[in-house]
Amino acid sequence: MSMFRIEKNKENPYVMLNKLFLQDERLSAKAKGILAYFLSLPDDWQFYETEIAKHFSDGVKSINVGIKELIKYHYIIREQNRNEKGRFGSYTYCVYEVPTETPFSELGEAENREMENRKEHTTNTD
C-alpha cells in the first residue's frame, strides 16, 4: 500500500490525536469520525447537534446515534444542565481522546477531580 501525504504547516493545518480510539474495535466508523471531528475543534467550541450535522452527510438522528455510542464506551460524558427555573436545558459534553470512567463517591455522585485529555462542550437543545 502506498500513502500520499501533504506537507503540514500553517497553510495546511493538521491535528494531533491519540490513535487509540481509531483502533478501538468496539466503535463504528461513524463514532470514530465524529470523535475525530470533535477533537479537531477548539477547546471552547460550542456544541450544537444541528450544526454538527451540517458538517457530515449524516442527519441529526444519525449523529446522535454515534454520540450515544461514544457515551456508551466512555469517550463522551454528557450531563444535562438546568435553567434558572430548574427545568432541564442544554447539555454539557466532556470529550476524551481515551475512554474514561467517572469516579463515584459512596453516595453514588461523581467526585471532583482533575480530568486529563478533557474537552468540555455545551449544546443548545432548542
Q: What is the CATH number of the domain that holds 35?
A: 1.10.10
Kindly state the cell numbers that stand for 22: 481509531
**Nearest Cα residue to 73 out of 15, 44, 122, 30:** 30
Q: Is the pLDDT of residue 19 over 70?
A: yes
Q: Which H or E element spans position 30?
A: helix 29-40
Q: Is the pLDDT of residue 20 over 50?
A: yes
Given the C-alpha cell 450544537, which residue does it identify? Answer: 48
Expressed as residue numbers, the domain containing 99 is 28-123
Instruction: Convert the pLDDT of each residue in 67-81 to its tens digit.
Output: 999 999 999 998 888
What's the confidence (pLDDT) of residue 122? 56
Instruction: Convert the pLDDT of each residue in 82-92 to its tens digit.
Output: 888 888 888 88
Q: Is residue 35 situated within a structural domain?
A: yes
- Reduce the DSSP state of residue 17 to 3 states and report it: coil
Q: Is the pLDDT of residue 103 over 60?
A: no
pTM for this entry: 0.71
Q: Is residue 57 situated within a structural domain?
A: yes
- Residue 108's pLDDT band (cuts 50, 70, 90): very low
Q: Is residue 104 situated within a structural domain?
A: yes
**Nearest Cα residue to 50 out of 33, 36, 67, 70:** 67
Q: Is residue 22 situated within a structural domain?
A: no
Domain count, the chain: 1
Q: Is residue 70 situated within a structural domain?
A: yes
With vertex at residue 52, the alpha carbon angle to CA 29 and CA 43, rounded to the nearest 5 degrees, is: 95
Instruction: Convert the pLDDT of each residue in 22-67 to its tens digit.
Output: 999 999 999 999 999 999 988 888 777 788 888 899 889 999 999 9
Q: Is residue 67 situated within a structural domain?
A: yes
What is the percent of the chain with per-residue pLDDT over 70, rounded to a whole number? Answer: 80
Q: Is residue 56 situated within a structural domain?
A: yes
Q: Is residue 21 situated within a structural domain?
A: no
